[in-house]
Amino acid sequence: MIDLIPRYWYNIVPDLNRPLPPPLDPEDSDFSRIELLNRIIPKEVLRQQFTAERYVKIPDEVIELYSLAGRPTPLMRAKRLEELLDTPAKIYFKYEGATHSGSHKINTAIPQAYFAREEGVERVVTETGAGQWGTAVALSAALMKIKSTIFMVRVSYEQKPGRKTVMKLYGAEVYPSPSEITEYGKNELAKNSANPGSLGIAMSEAIEYVIKNDYRYLIGSVLEVVLLHQSIIGLEAIKQFEFIGEEPEVLIGCVGGGSNFAGFAYPFIGSKIGSRYIAVSSSEIKKFSKGVYEYDFPDSAGLLPMLKMITLGKDYVPPPIYSGGLRYHGLAPTLSLMIKDKIIEWMEFSEKETYSAAKLFANAQGIIPAPESAHAISAAIKIAKEAKEKNEKKIIAFNLSGHGLLDLSYYQKMEAK
Amino acid sequence: MIMKKLLVSYITLGYPNENDYLKFVKDADDLGTDIFELGYPPNFAKYDGPLIRRSYLKVKSMYKNFSELISRTRKITRKKIIVLTYLENIQNNLDEFLGTIKSSGADGVLLPDLLIDFPENYFKYLNRISEKGLDTVIFVSPFVPDKIISDVYKFSSPFLYYGVRPTTGIVTPVNISSLLKRLKNLTDSRVVVGFGLKGLEEIKEALSAGADGIAIGSAYVEAFENNGLSSALDVVKRVRCILDDF
Ligand SMILES: Cc1ncc(COP(=O)(O)O)c(C=O)c1O
């Protein structure tokens, strides 16, 4: 099986239609945020962030650990879902929930923790909302035999004790954010002691903690290097499609920062396979319908360089929908550019619609999807229904970015509605 | 045929004061600068690092007429003069701007935002620049896709500028050889490498990987800030030495 794992990651930047606007410091800046990255991010990760190589070699140890963590993940056909929808379309999905951490996040956590350990870092630090990313970092650090600290958005910390337990089981230190551990957290608590937290705040705490202690920060999404590592999803899927002798026409993924969508779809775009690529967000967040394409900070504190991206503004506080992974203001720069240029389409679905899609999918295929991933399912169902109306034998493929077995409080709440 | 490696010296117009600026140009010419790149202060030098941004702030408060400074520069050097500024600031009076710098003695322009911020109509701008009798040095970077590089490199003269890092004067980890190898596969132009080259080792690495020249800028500004003119000229000497020994 390990032979199915690609040996190179794919970087889309050399294949874009136009130049990617570079990261930059704001006009009134008295220090260089780009320089600061050297003290935040492991060197090799930073090098890969700014590379122009189309293919980047995956270290052997990372391939072994991909295998250990459950790669290659299965490409499955949702045959019973097709039947329930009575559609002539075929629906396939790549199941990233089959990894031990339960989502695609492990695909970048492993190499980032690996490069951190290679340069002698003793502790890696990050933030987590829903807990999928924190889990992946905790597991990767354990595999590398280094320590990890996770700042977890306070509402999730309280609502999702299961995630916290898993991270602690993997040896992570977990703090609810805002916390008393950092100045940023203390300030937020001073303003509002009942502050429920946000990804932006937790990210700012993690970065401050890293700078103060000379640890290294692992990035969960948005930056090109994360999309690069996630390309493992699409590269594997291309081989799997070749094996079964099919070619997908429509490729779909949900988006928070954009990493699982890009990881799945970019290799297909680069190989000129498929004719429609659809990124899906939430109609409660409205990233696509309300977001603007401009330079903005990826973190609330503004410690990272500005990126040109589709954004709702760094201080945007997303409504408390349960898809924690989609509650983020920005979007990866390459993805933003291709949305802007209409190479990639977008859709938005409400919490109610995605809940029905998740339930339908669970009953048809047996997998309980993460609420984030249910947005991709909603889009696949929509396209399959359109195919029925037009009587088209479309081949649809979506990325099922994670399972929802630790999102049961969400399902309970929706069940009760 | 082995061509001499180019030394492209960037300095902000009039920096740090008129006297030292003119002396710098004159001596940097004598010490083996092949081409001068003169920074014409834009409203916001967004793709530049803090050193160059500071130098722009300084000269903006000192001078009103930067074309006049170009004329004075022209009088003391016969080397090519490329004016670096941002298209964003001059697009509304482009012909007038180009006409003025041309009559002040400039040979060409370098607009770092041309490909990035004007992806739909950069060819139109390239034409307008050449109609004024000026060259364009095109700026490319790892953020520029292969197809665009293949389309534009022929229009870059007297060289193609490759910025290997995200911003000027800031060091981030890069693999200069692999970046350059990729670029060399896409173009047969003369390639000058710049943007935060760190130390003599990196200059050597760039040359070994096929760079036809090196652009230095932030290092001069930093030397000026720390120890003044003579130290900036030392940098010219040292870099010229590496280029000649290569
Ligand atoms: C299961 C799952 N899917 C999707 C996302 C959204 O992130 P991205 O757009 O980077 O894939 C997350 C983020 O936490 C997640 O946990």
**pLDDT the model gives residue A199:** 85
Give me the pLDDT at residue B141, please: 95
pLDDT value of residue B2: 59
Smallest CA-to-CA distance from A127 within A198, A223, A39 is with: A198
B119 part of contact set with chain A, CB < 8 Å = yes
Find the mean pLDDT for residues A11-27: 96
User: Does residue A205 surpass a pLDDT of 60?
Assistant: yes
Cβ contact A298:A313 at 8 Å? no
Burial bucket for residue A356 (CB in 10 Å: 0-12, 13-18, 19+):
middle
Closest CA to B139 of B105, B174, B97, B111: B111
Q: Do A13 and B145 touch (CB under 8 A)?
A: yes
Least confident of A68-77, A175-184, A312-321, B192-201: A312-321
The rounded Å distance from CA B14 to ligand 1 centre is 51
The atom of ligand 1 lying closest to the CA of A133 is: 14
For residues A27-64, one letter each, b for 16 or more C-beta atoms within 10 angstroms of the residue's C-beta and e for the rest, the string is eeeeebbbbbbeebbbebbbbbbbbbbbebebeeebbe
pLDDT tens-digit map of A364-414: 999 999 999 999 999 999 999 999 999 999 999 999 999 999 999 889 988
Q: How far is B24 from chain A (nearest CA, A)?
A: 27
Q: Do B119 and A15 touch (CB under 8 A)?
A: no
Residue contact B49–A34, C-beta within 8 A = yes
* Domains recognised in chain A with CATH numbers: 2-60+105-217 (3.40.50.1100), 70-103+226-416 (3.40.50.1100)
Closest ligand 1 atom, residue A255 Cα: 9
B37 tagged catalytic? yes
Within the 179-238 window of chain B, which residues sit less than 8 Å (CB to CB) from chain A?
179, 182-183
Mean per-residue pLDDT, B201-214: 95
| pLDDT for residue B193 | 96
Q: Which of A17, A22, A37 faces B141 most closely, judged by CB atoms?
A: A22
Instruction: Give the one of B44, B116, B172 whose C-beta lies nearest to A34's C-beta.
Output: B172
Number of Cβ atoms within 10 Å of the Cβ of B57: 12
Structure confidence at residue A156 (pLDDT): 87
pLDDT digits (tens, 9 = 90+) for A292-329: 999 999 988 899 999 999 999 988 877 776 777 888 89
How far is ligand 1, taken at its centre, from the CA of residue B226, in Å?
47
pLDDT band at A28 (very low <50, low <70, confident <90, very high): confident
* CB contact A272 to B (< 8 Å): no
Name B194's bridge partners: B163
H or E segment at A320?
none
Chain B residues with beta carbon closer than 8 angstroms to that of A27: 44, 46
What pLDDT does A409 receive? 87
B145–A15 CB contact, under 8 Å: yes
Q: Do B145 and A24 touch (CB under 8 A)?
A: no
* Amino acid of residue A256: G
Which residues line the pocket of ligand 1, CB cutoff 6 A? A 103, 130, 132-133, 221, 254-261, 325-326, 370, 372-373, 401-402
Residue A124, pLDDT score: 98
From the list B29, B37, B205, B212, the catalytic residue is B37
Largest distance between two CA atoms of chain A:
61
Chain A residues whose CB is inside 8 A of the B180 CB are none
Residue B3, pLDDT > 80, answer no
Q: Is the dihedral angle over the CA atoms A136, A139, A144, A149 positive or is it negative? A: positive
Q: What tokens does B156 get?
A: 């870059």
**Contact status, residue A285 vs residue A318, Cβ threshold 8 Å:** yes
Residue B50 at interface with chain A, using a CB cutoff of 8 Å: yes
**By the CB < 8 Å criterion, does B174 face chain A?**
yes
**How far does A291 lie from chain B, in Å, by closest CA?**
20
Q: Is A196 helix (H, G, I), strand (E, B) or coil?
A: coil
Compute, in angstroms, the gap from residue A103 CA to the centroid of ligand 1. 8
Q: What is the 3-state secondary structure (H, E, C) of chain B?
A: CCCCCEEEEEEECCCCCHHHHHHHHHHHHHCCCCEEEEECCCCCCCCCCHHHHHHHHHHHCCCCCHHHHHHHHHHHCCCEEEEECCHHHHHHHHHHHHHHHHHHCCCEEECCCHHHHCCCCHHHHHHHHHHCCCEEECEECCCCCHHHHHHHHHHCCCCEEEECCCCCCCCCCCCHHHHHHHHHHHCCCCEEEECCCCHHHHHHHHHHCCCCEEEECHHHHHHHHHHCHHHHHHHHHHHHHHHHHC
For A12-36, the DSSP string reads: -GGGSSSPPPPPB--TT-SS-HHHH
Q: Measured between alpha carbons, how far is A65 from A86 in angstroms, rounded to an integer?
A: 40
The CATH code of the domain at B6-244 is: 3.20.20.70
pLDDT above 90 covers a percentage of chain A that reads 87
| Centre of ligand 1 from the C-alpha of residue A255, in Å | 7
Residue A130 has pLDDT above 90, yes or no: no
pLDDT of residue A416: 87
Tell me, in angstroms, the distance from the centre of ligand 1 to residue A127's CA. Answer: 13
List A residues 292-311 in contact with B (Cβ-Cβ < 8 A): 305
Nearest CA in chain B to A31: B50
Q: Which of B29, B34, B48, B107 is catalytic?
A: B48
- The model's pLDDT over B9-64, given as tens digits with 9 standing for 90+, comes to 999 999 999 999 999 999 999 999 999 999 999 999 999 999 999 999 999 999 99
User: Ligand 1 center to residue B183 CA distance, Å?
Assistant: 34
What is the tens place of the pLDDT at every residue in B55-106? 999 999 999 999 999 999 999 999 999 999 999 999 999 999 999 999 999 9
**What would the pLDDT profile of A103-119 be if each residue is shown by its tens digit?**
999 999 999 999 999 99
A366–B contact, CB cutoff 8 A: no
Asked if A52 is an interface residue toward chain B (Cβ–Cβ < 8 A), one would say yes
Distance between CA atoms of residues B219 and B207, nearest Å: 18
Q: Which of B46, B143, B147 sits opposite A20 (nearest CB)?
A: B143
Cα–Cα distance, A359 to A67 (Å, whole number): 30
Nearest CA to ligand 1 atom 13: A325
* ω into B41 cis (within 30 of 0): no
- A284 vs A318: CA distance, rounded Å: 8
Better-scored residue on pLDDT, A285 or B129: B129
pLDDT at residue B1 tops 60: no
Mutate to test the interface with A, among B172, B198, B218 (most CBs of A within 10 A): B172
Separation in Å, CA of B164 to nearest CA in chain A: 9
In the predicted model, what is the mean pLDDT of chain A? 95
How far A230 CA lies from chain B's nearest CA (Å)? 19
| d(C-alpha B33, C-alpha B5), whole Å | 10
Contact A47 B143 (CB under 8 A): no
Residues of A whose CB is below 8 A from B174 = 47, 50-51
pLDDT (tens digit per residue) in B112-139? 999 999 999 999 999 999 999 999 999 9
CB pair distance less than 8 Å for B47 and A22: yes
Q: Are strands B139-140 and A216-217 parallel, antiparallel or unpaired?
A: unpaired
pLDDT at A46 over 70: yes
Average pLDDT over residues B216-228: 95
Residue among A344, A376, A250 nearest A12 (CA): A344
Give, in degrees to the nearest 5, the angle at Cα B58 between B56 and B59. 70
Domain boundaries, chain B: 6-244
Q: Cβ–Cβ of A22/B119 closer than 8 Å?
A: no
Q: Are A22 and B166 in contact (CB under 8 A)?
A: yes
The answer, yes or no, to whether residue A93 has pLDDT greater than 90, is yes
Quote the CA–CA distance of A276 and A260 in Å, as a whole number. Answer: 17
